[in-house]
Amino acid sequence: MADWVADQIEKQVFHVDEEWSQEDEREKQNVLDEVFKQRPLALRKARRGMDALQDAREEDADVIGYLYWLAYNTVNAAVNYARVNDDSSREKLEELEEEFRETLKTDEIEITPYELKKLSREAKKINRTPARLRRLMEERGERIQHLIGFAYAGTEAVRDGAGGEEEMSMTDER
């Protein structure tokens, strides 16, 4: 797991902007780790999600869509945490949050992270990928997967494995 994350950080094609630095990365990791301390269920889901992302195939849009929403939701919580605590990483985290939203906009399709989650659930129910989700994954699938990995890189979500023996579905809404 750690090697995969290191590779993802190493070959970051995605940059929030040209000035995203190692310091920005450390600050992002610290804020997300603080959020995970306050949201242990989100941490467990993120760990399971990162494990699932490694195993996901291109046609696993239902898994990837849900994980994207989960990563976006965690980044959003980190932005709020940074705002409340007047953290210096707030601006960079806001840019990352915006990148999550912008990635779901194409010439043909514009959906929100929450709509992506709903489409993923629909795909699981009907046992096939809805056309909108399929087109989005064809056009932006690699970038979507990259953002998921980038959001969690270096955080508790990937450092300690899935941990815990509690049986829980990744999509469990508890």
For the chain, domain boundaries? 2-8+29-159
Residue 173 structure tokens: 């809404």
Low-confidence ranges of the chain (pLDDT < 50): 1-2, 9, 12-16, 161-174
CB contact set of 93 (below 8 Å; sequence gap of 6+): 28, 31, 75, 78, 79, 82
The predicted structure's pLDDT at residue 147:
87
Q: In the beta sheet, which residues pair with residue 110?
A: 105
The predicted structure's pLDDT at residue 53:
67
- In this predicted model, what pLDDT tens digit does every residue of 71-119 receive, in sequence order? 899 899 999 988 998 888 888 889 889 999 999 998 888 899 999 989 8
| Rounded Cα distance, 125 and 104, in Å | 22
